[in-house]
Amino acid sequence: MARRLTQQQLQPELEAWARDGLVDAARIPEILQRYPSADAGSKIMAIFVGLGVVSLLAGVALIIGANWQDLDPLSKIVLFLGLLGVVGWWAIRLKSNDAHPGWWESACSAWAVLPLLGLALVSQIFHTDGRVSQLLAAWLVLILPLPLLTRSRGVFSVFLIGLFFAVVVDLRHYLPASNSGSFFRWYDVHCSAVILYGLAAAGASQAWRFWNEDGLLRTGEYLGVLAALGGMYAFGFSESTKSWWVLLWAGVVAAALLVIMRGVRAGDRPSQVNAGFVMIGLVLLSIYLRLVGTMMDTALVFFTGGAVFLGLGWILHRLRKFALAAARPAVAPPVLPS
């Protein structure tokens, strides 16, 4: 899907074309009017639509829940299948009619979540026991074709988040010596699992190149990078890394810088650029509090920590703006009527 530029992104390009004599400088405002003023409006719309859909589903769930005990099992299954069918029909209709992405993305995401509720319903009716990870694994198998069929970022995000919890939630039951080991041993295991999951998710998302789905590829990369960096950062608080946590967090900063450089070079990954700067700021603030915080009074720690946080925020914000400006994608000059 083509990525539409905003006025803010296109204006510097138009000014450069005007200096090169490719377009008339007097036509620049007219050209800009054909493009959206910013992405923020679309994102805000998507947020409000998503919240509205969640609220509607919550209302339906509460109404059903109030009368749930009075329903027989067959009525429960029919009611659920009806809800699944209505949401699925709504999602397909919105997407086929080129509705606002916020609408059909929210509908597709709700459609992907509903089978999990259906499995929980079947488990309740037939009194089947099992682990949470088994329930999640069965749900993920059911919705496995949905990201490819819908090409929805929301559905793909739901799938990756569900896969994350399926991997992490019951690790103790699937590893040797599950009843032994200290808290920090299992803390290390979970951090390692999160890191490996993030790297695997980011790598597997490259498969979307075969279908030219850059949006889904960027979504998978973003979630994977976020999980990997977060796992490395959390690993620095473990007992097993107390002698080399500085090297570990230096590696987090180096990895975040690589993510930023890649986002700048690609030109269409501002979320990854933002995540890299946020992680760098978090690591630097944590290093400061870890090294200096033990030598100060509590009030002084908060005071100096707040000052450091504000200073880092300002510096990183300036660097982020510079990086995103450098990452602005180049576009070909428009063909203007003669």
Q: How far apart are the first and last CA of the chain?
A: 29
Give the burial class of 248: count Cβ atoms within 10 A of its Cβ; 0-12 exposed, 13-18 middle, 19 or more buried: middle
Picking from 259, 260, 269, the residue whose alpha carbon sits closest to that of residue 328 is 269
Task: Return the number of other C-beta atoms located less than 10 Å from residue 32's C-beta.
Answer: 16
The model carries a pTM of 0.74
Percent of the chain with pLDDT over 70: 76
DSSP 181: S
Q: What is the pLDDT of residue 312?
A: 74
Picking from 266, 213, 288, the residue whose alpha carbon sits closest to that of residue 258 is 266
Alpha-carbon distance 62 to 67, whole Å? 9
Most confident of 120-134, 148-162, 175-189, 324-338: 148-162
Picking from 280, 276, 250, the residue whose alpha carbon sits closest to that of residue 265 is 276
Identify the residue with better confidence: 275 or 289.
Answer: 275
**SS3 assignment, position 248:** helix
Tokens 């597709």 correspond to: 108
Q: What is the pLDDT of residue 323?
A: 73
Query: What is the mean predicted confidence (pLDDT) over 268-282?
Result: 85
Q: What is the pLDDT of residue 330?
A: 47
pLDDT tens digits for range 282-336: 898 888 878 776 666 666 667 777 777 678 778 877 777 777 666 554 444 555 4
Pair of tokens at residue 71: 């329903």
Identify the residue with better confidence: 111 or 2.
Answer: 111
pLDDT tens digits for range 188-206: 888 999 999 999 999 999 9
CA atoms within a 13 Å half-sphere pointing along the CA-CB vector of 93: 6
Alpha-carbon distance 262 to 267, whole Å? 8
Pair of tokens at residue 49: 């639509």
Pair of tokens at residue 103: 């609408």
Percent of the chain with pLDDT over 90: 24
Identify the residue with better confidence: 48 or 229.
Answer: 229
For residue 40, pLDDT beyond 50: no
CA distances from 139 to 95, 107, 136, 197, 295 (A): 23, 18, 5, 18, 50
Query: What is the mean predicted confidence (pLDDT) over 61-72?
Result: 68
Picking from 267, 151, 156, 155, the residue whose alpha carbon sits closest to that of residue 204 is 156
Q: What is the mean pLDDT of the chain?
A: 79
Alpha-carbon distance 261 to 273, whole Å? 8
pLDDT tens digits for range 82-136: 888 988 898 888 888 877 777 788 888 889 988 888 888 777 777 777 788 888 8
CA distances from 245 to 24, 43, 113, 184, 192 (A): 57, 38, 38, 15, 15
Alpha-carbon distance 37 to 159, whole Å? 32
For residue 273, pLDDT beyond 80: yes
Alpha-carbon distance 157 to 223, whole Å? 8
Beta strands in 170-263 (DSSP E): none
Q: Which of 37-51, 248-262, 290-304 has the lowest mean pLDDT?
A: 37-51
Query: What is the mean predicted confidence (pLDDT) over 140-147?
Result: 93
Alpha-carbon distance 45 to 103, whole Å? 9
Let me know: does 260 contact 272? Beta carbons within 8 Å. yes
Helices (H), 127-269: 132-143, 146-150, 153-168, 171-174, 183-204, 214-235, 245-266
DSSP 153: H
What type of residue sits at position 173? H
User: What band does 24 get if pLDDT is binned at 50, 70 and 90?
Assistant: confident
Task: Return the number of other C-beta atoms located less than 10 Å from residue 48's C-beta.
Answer: 12
Q: What is the pLDDT of residue 45?
A: 57
The secondary structure element, H or E, covering residue 152 is: none
Most confident of 22-36, 248-262, 319-333: 248-262
User: What band does 338 get if pLDDT is binned at 50, 70 and 90?
Assistant: very low
For residue 233, pLDDT beyond 70: yes
